[in-house]
Structure 1
Amino acid sequence: MSRNKFAATIGLALVTIASAAGHYPAFAVDNMETSGTADLTSVRAKIAAKDYTSALSELRGLAEDNQQADVYNLLGFTLRKTGDFDTSLTYYQKALDLEPDHKAAREYLGELYVDTGKMDKAKEQLTSLTLLCPAGCDELGDLQKYIASRGVN
């Protein structure tokens, strides 16, 4: 019998014995998947319609069940649009903690820094996007335009 077959047979036997004895393997129930994606279609439509209150309500519900960079990023965006800059910053940081290369979060965080007069920090986000998008990307271009529209070079 090969080693792989032997190991598989022993593993199956152990699971069978544990099941018969009423012992089951412990599985973590509090770990949240970040690879799956929440359906954000409705939220994006509300944001496009500038219905930030409804988008925020839906996003808060999604955030309870989904630890995902996209959800946190849109929470940050919506909160920024409603003027809650401090909480917005928290959610952008959560998004980037989960996914440091999240381009939209970097763009919107840069815009938040522009809105709050922290141009050095906005330019840090611009630098990060430049590194993430050496050939250019929408997020890089949008942040460049946002900074330029505020009269900052």
Structure 2
Amino acid sequence: MRSLRIMLLAGALAGLTTAGALAAGSGGGTGMAMPSASAPAYDPAEEYAKAVASIQAKDYKAAARAAQRVTDAAPTNVDGWRLLGVAQAGAQNWKGARKAYERAVKLSPDDLPSRAGLGMALANLKDPKAQEQLAWLRAKAADCGAGCDAAALQSLTAEVEKALAGGTAAGQPSAALEGGSLLFAAAGDRAYVQAVGLINEKRYDEALASLDAARAAFGPHPDILTYQGYAWRKKGRFDRAEGYYRQALAIAPAHRGATEYYGELKVERGDVAGARLMLAALDRICAYGCAEAEELRRWIDAGGEPGL
């Protein structure tokens, strides 16, 4: 893989919201801006931002409409379902919240906010299955080792216990659940820049944590999804990597970075025919040629990463 480099624009003031371009062929594909400023013409990241803004304004019905569009466009993205759950809970639509959180838990069984959100929704519906989610959270807290966020677990567990004790009062949505969604763009951009730097250093576990933070701010942005695929691929988890590449391409079919890296993954799996299909797609996208197409061509010709 070519070196992934970030050049920060001089004069950036509040954080890194004006941070600049990824090197050619990076996850961003066209890459001249941070995820807060760049996205396909129509994409779920834009609707995600609308939903977050509506939650901040306490307009939960508008938030639910925008979050629903996120899940319609990116049905396998856990962030959209979690955000929809927050919006529906804020609107006191507990059946809608339960459905959204159930989908989130199905996609990511270890996602703490989704487990807590589901527990709260079930508690407010007087469903005894809420106890199962509380028991799950308590078990996680009891086994909270290195890398575990004990404070978050404690807060989320307390929210479910409160809901079971008497339900959530109207107009009083969960601060613990909302908090994870109300990230500013600057914080998301910082997490994104940090993730790319960590990938350069081959610190993939830390990079994935930063990418999760960026995705919580921006939702299913194809640049972020592409880098998540790359990090999982470098960890040897080709199945996880493919899932992220497919998500990115479902949102932005002409995304050069995702197309190139998915082709490289196919080469690594021995699927040369599949890699050639990705190369053909890049040749269509890049009418006058591009670095991504040339790099994938080298991978195919070399039968793996060139130079190894």
TM exceeding 0.5? yes
Amino acid at match of 1:47: I
Q: Using the TM superposition, give the Cα deviation of residue 60 of structure 1 relative to its aligned residue in structure 2, in angstroms.
A: 2.4
Mapped to 2, the partners of 1:25 and 1:78 lie a distance apart of 35
Q: Which residue of 1 aligns with 2:290?
A: 137
Q: Which residue of 1 aligns with 2:270?
A: 117
Q: Which residue of 2 aligns with 1:84?
A: 237
Q: Could you state the TM-score of these two structures normalised by the residue count of structure 1?
A: 0.74
Mapped to 2, the partners of 1:87 and 1:134 lie a distance apart of 31
- RMSD over aligned CA atoms reads 2.3
Mapped to 2, the partners of 1:25 and 1:111 lie a distance apart of 42
Please state whether the residue corresponding to 1:136 is helix, strand or coil. Answer: coil
- Structure 2 residue runs of 5 or longer lacking an equivalent are 1-58, 74-184
Amino acid at match of 1:56: L
Amino acid at match of 2:195: V
Identity of counterpart residues, as a percentage? 31
Mapped to 1, the partners of 2:257 and 2:223 lie a distance apart of 9
- Structure 1 residue runs of 5 or longer lacking an equivalent are 1-23
Q: Which residue of 1 aligns with 2:206?
A: 54
Q: Which residue of 2 aligns with 1:27?
A: 62
Mapped to 1, the partners of 2:216 and 2:242 lie a distance apart of 18
Mapped to 1, the partners of 2:212 and 2:281 lie a distance apart of 28
Please state whether the residue corresponding to 1:27 is helix, strand or coil. Answer: helix
Aligned length: 126
Matched, 1:96 2:249: yes
Amino acid at match of 1:70: D
Mapped to 2, the partners of 1:44 and 1:25 lie a distance apart of 34
Q: Using the TM superposition, give the Cα deviation of residue 63 of structure 1 relative to its aligned residue in structure 2, in angstroms.
A: 2.7
Please give the per-residue CA displacement for 1:60-103, whole angstroms capped at 9, x wherever unaligned. Answer: 23334421101110000000000000010000000001101000
Matched, 1:150 2:303: yes
| Higher-Rg member (1/2) | 1
Distance 1:91 1:25, change over 3 A: closer
Q: Using the TM superposition, give the Cα deviation of residue 53 of structure 1 relative to its aligned residue in structure 2, in angstroms.
A: 1.4
Mapped to 1, the partners of 2:292 and 2:248 lie a distance apart of 15
Mapped to 1, the partners of 2:278 and 2:60 lie a distance apart of 44
Q: Which residue of 2 aligns with 1:18?
A: none
Mapped to 2, the partners of 1:149 and 1:41 lie a distance apart of 31
Give the structure with the larger helix fraction: 1
Q: Using the TM superposition, give the Cα deviation of residue 57 of structure 1 relative to its aligned residue in structure 2, in angstroms.
A: 1.6
Q: Using the TM superposition, give the Cα deviation of residue 25 of structure 1 relative to its aligned residue in structure 2, in angstroms.
A: 9.5
